[in-house]
Amino acid sequence: MHLEQEQRHIYYDHDLGIEAYNLSGIVQKFPNHFHDYYVIGFVEGGKRHLWCKGQEYDLASGDLILFNPRDNHYCAPINGDILDYRAVNIKTEVMLQAVKEITGKEFTPHFTLNVVYQSDITHTLDELYNSILSHETKFKKEEAFFFLLEQILQDYAEPFDKVDIQEPNQQIKTLCNYMEEHFPENITLDDLLSMTSFGKSYLLRSFTKQVGVSPYRYLQTIRLEKAKTFLEQGIPPIDAASMAGFADQSHFTNFFKEFIGLTPKQYQRIFTGVPAPAEPAKEWPNEN
């Protein structure tokens, strides 16, 4: 019954260069992962238990969610409640340009809170989301976008270099850099081990504690982000899977849907299936 209720929509707005994301009737758990972009979202209905960077939150309708790039997080339903959720995904380069426009300064913002309970900002976010879906003029969409960011930057963000963020140690950073540079290759735990003075068990525990996800999950998330870029460029899913380092198409499709909520083909059509720059993508409930 839940599957019939589920609706999953992602719309790409060419004017703003951002994604508008909507999930409704969702019971799916989302496993521990991160994104390479900013996420500003809110719970429209239902309840969720969220884990983010070692903290836990019980979310309900009206709660605002803020994720920085690389903030690891995962969530699950509370008492079987279905989730209605809206969000905008903002790539770092788009955020940096907007920050400069709003503040007149060049800096990388860092959200200081991941959850703001019962926030009025959700109304501004909803206005931006609806303006994208309604094909409003670029003027109106930009106005809604800048009003939203101005509120969040003022109340819940600081320059990244002024925030006390605990960085992984150098050996762990080396492993992260290696996986980001060699993501298409068949990387093994022994490969990572050879770059450290750790034993296998200690490496796994230390990496997970410092980064927030396990080494394998980190590698797969990097591959997923690369695959999304390939799909956005119009590269066929089977080729995007291989180029990103996934072993086979089936594994890639299952992994992609588990984390993104859409199949690779559904995601690609957001970028290649729109008839005009301002036209949102349609929903494709089934892969074909």
Instruction: Give the pLDDT of the chain (288 residues) as one tens digit per residue.
Output: 444 478 888 899 999 999 998 989 888 888 899 999 999 999 999 999 999 998 999 999 999 999 999 999 999 999 989 999 999 999 999 999 999 999 998 999 999 999 999 999 999 999 999 999 999 999 999 999 999 999 999 999 998 767 667 788 999 999 999 999 999 999 999 999 999 989 999 999 999 999 999 999 999 999 999 999 999 999 999 999 999 999 888 889 998 988 887 889 989 988 876 443 343 444 434 444
Q: Which of 142, 144, 132 is nearest to 274 (CA)?
A: 132
Structure tokens at 167: 């960085």
Domain ranges of the chain: 2-162, 170-272
Structure tokens at 132: 């994208």
Name the amino acid, one letter, at 50: L
Q: Which of 15, 13, 30, 1 is nearest to 262 (CA)?
A: 30
**Confidence at residue 249, expressed as pLDDT on a 0 to 100 scale:** 87
CATH of domain 2-162: 2.60.120.10
**Confidence at residue 276, expressed as pLDDT on a 0 to 100 scale:** 34
**Confidence at residue 279, expressed as pLDDT on a 0 to 100 scale:** 39
CATH of domain 170-272: 1.10.10.60
Please give the C-alpha separations between residue 270 and each of 14, 19, 47, 56, 266, in angstroms, as whole numbers. Answer: 11, 10, 28, 33, 7
Is there a common fold for 2-162 and 170-272?
Answer: no
Helix (H, G, I), strand (E, B) or coil at 221: helix
Neighbouring residues of 183: CB distance < 8 A, sequence distance ≥ 6: 219, 222, 223, 226, 244, 245
Name the amino acid, one letter, at 269: R
Q: Report yes or no: 119 and 62 within 8 Å, Cβ to Cβ.
A: yes
Beta strands of 46-82 (E only): which ranges?
48-52, 55-59, 64-67, 73-77
List the 55-59 sheet strands across, edge first.
30-33, 73-77, 48-52, 55-59
